[in-house]
A and B are shown apart, each in its own frame.
Chain A
Amino acid sequence: MEFVGDVVNWFLSAENWSGPAGIPNRVWEHVQISVIATGLAAVIALPPALWLGHFRRGGFLAVAVVNIGRAVPSFAIMALFLPISIRLGLGLGFWPTLLALFALALPPIFTNTYTAVRDVDPALVEAGRGMGMRERQLLWTIEAPMASPVIVAALRVSAVQVVATAPLAALVAWGGLGRYIIDGFAVRDNVRVLAGGILVAVLSVGTELLLGALERRIVPRGLSRATEQVVPPAHG
């Protein structure tokens, strides 16, 4: 129980809340890279996924992307891109991390979007065609809205996993909440390790709740699809 007291004290001590190694800055670094990585993955994955889903082409690609994505360990990508990033003059830390988290977030967004659009009730699409809608209209007015629960759920799941995996980046000289875990582990300061773990968990849950609330706002109420079917990303 003394250990718990130590952890509480760690959170209460003012010096942990200020400066570049303080909680606010680390949380900010963590959030920053998670948002960029997930956002980038969404921007790059959504258009092709929507288009291919609509035309019901490239199903094999969807499966392959998610399988390969799951097979590539995030830490390995970070480590691998470190020397490349240095060679390209991009420095340490930020770019290898961003790339790895982007690679983590992309497959689920791509595959789930594709599957969701493709699986929209064909009768609805036919009806739309019957009304004279063109391809793009079909996509935007029928398929995308119908698929939106799964798409938004996939974004949510991706974002949460990115937040939970970002701690690894401390191993490639980046900041974020992983620093508490890695630096604490290095000096066997279990209080710091646990504090870091708690912060990451809180941030993950917070992201889940926030995006969940957003999801409920965006998705039309009549569509309460089971989002358990969403393919999650790999555990990093």
Chain B
Amino acid sequence: MRKNRNGFLGAILVVVLALLLTACGSGEETGDNGTETTSGEGVTETTSGTETTAGEEMVDGPTITIGSANFSENALVAEIYAQVLETAGYPVERNLNVGNREIYAAALEDGGLDLVPEYVGSALSYLGGTPTADSAATAQALADAWADAGIAVLDPAPAQDKNGIVVREDTAGELGLTTVSDLAGHNDLIFGGPPECPEREFCMIGLQDVYGLDFAEFKPLDAGGALTVAALEGDEIQVALLFTSDGVIAAKGFVLLEDDQGLQPAENLTPVIRQEIVDAYGDDLVAALNGVSAELTTEELSEMNRRIGIDGEDPEQVAADWIADNL
């Protein structure tokens, strides 16, 4: 009987334990979406954030966990926040592409996430408020609504990304569509959008209540991603929900219908952050984030989206470029 057989089981367990230990040792790998590439100025190790070059003092305090919704634009803005804060010496951890609002808002409220980029209108609506097209008022209302949960809403950026109702060029020509109201009466169209659309005020509910639209069917696809675009292009749906800052609308020659009844509220991008983090770090942190917001415009956002989604550049690089050009 070869005794080293025993050793083999032991060896397997050792290897596995070793793997386990490497997992623990390399810091939390939760949803770490490949951030170990070069990002921003002079910061190399990103997950633990303990080394910054460029002679910055490490700011002492709780780790700031930056999260985002599961679509590329939101992850991009979160990446910008992350790089800016890291350069300034804050301990940052990324947990991007977490899910949609139900998921990341819950994480924000219970402390799983500390900072996310939000859209003031949809966020306020999610919390039960009534947003309007007035950016400042909506942002203030959002701040009030979230104050009890210990979440602070910082300055909104000029950049907005609203829900856009989109049709193909041929459909627009055929049915003479330029505004969303023009869709009224065409009851044989299939509408496609994110799975949560039927429960969203600025999606299906609003289209039905405010515009009186009645679609033949709703197809749950994704949040302005490949499925929705492919479905629209392939005529599996005739009307799609895409996002106004998405480069694909122009690239595919789709027609963005005008929101003539003003269903879509202001959707400025705003850093939304747990109050305890603000308290821990004070005004400098707030100023850093507000500095980002002050410079972010819709055109720049659209351009960055196009670079990532169509040209295929890396979000980290695109973010770094924007920071270098604007801050």
Contacts and interface: CB of A to CB of B under 8 A. Distances in A.
Interface in B88-103: 100, 102-103
B227 interface: yes
B234 A187 contact: no
Interface string A92-108: 11000000000000000
A183 B220 contact: yes
Contact of A92 (B100, B106, B195, B227): B227
Contacts of A82: 226-227, 230
A91 B234 contact: yes
Interface string A71-87: 00000000000110010
A225 interface: no
A175 B19 CA distance: 39
| Chain B interface mostly | mixed
Contacts of A83: 226, 230
A92 B102 contact: no
A142 to B, nearest CB: 42
B218 to A, nearest CB: 8
Nearest to B227: A173
B259 to A, nearest CB: 24
Interface in B213-262: 217, 219-222, 226-227, 230-231, 233-234, 236
B195 A188 contact: no
Interface in A84-137: 86, 89, 91-93
A109 B199 CA distance: 43
Contacts of A91: 231, 234, 236
A92 B219 CA distance: 11
Contact of A187 (B196, B226, B233): B196
A31 interface: no
A173 B102 CA distance: 21
A20 interface: yes
A92 B196 contact: no
Given A173-B219, A188-B106, A182 B195 contact: yes
B234 A92 contact: yes
Interface in A167-222: 170, 172-173, 179, 182-183, 186-188
A188 B102 contact: yes
Nearest to B192: A173
B199 A187 contact: yes
A172 B227 contact: yes
Contacts of B102: 186-188
B40 interface: no
Contacts of A182: 195, 220
State the 4 A-B residue pairs at the shortest beta-carbon distance, nearest first: A188-B102, A186-B195, A183-B195, A173-B227
Interface of B: 100, 102-103, 106, 194-196, 199, 217, 219-222, 226-227, 230-231, 233-234, 236
8 contacts: A86-B234, A91-B231, A91-B236, A92-B221, A183-B196, A183-B220, A187-B195, A188-B102
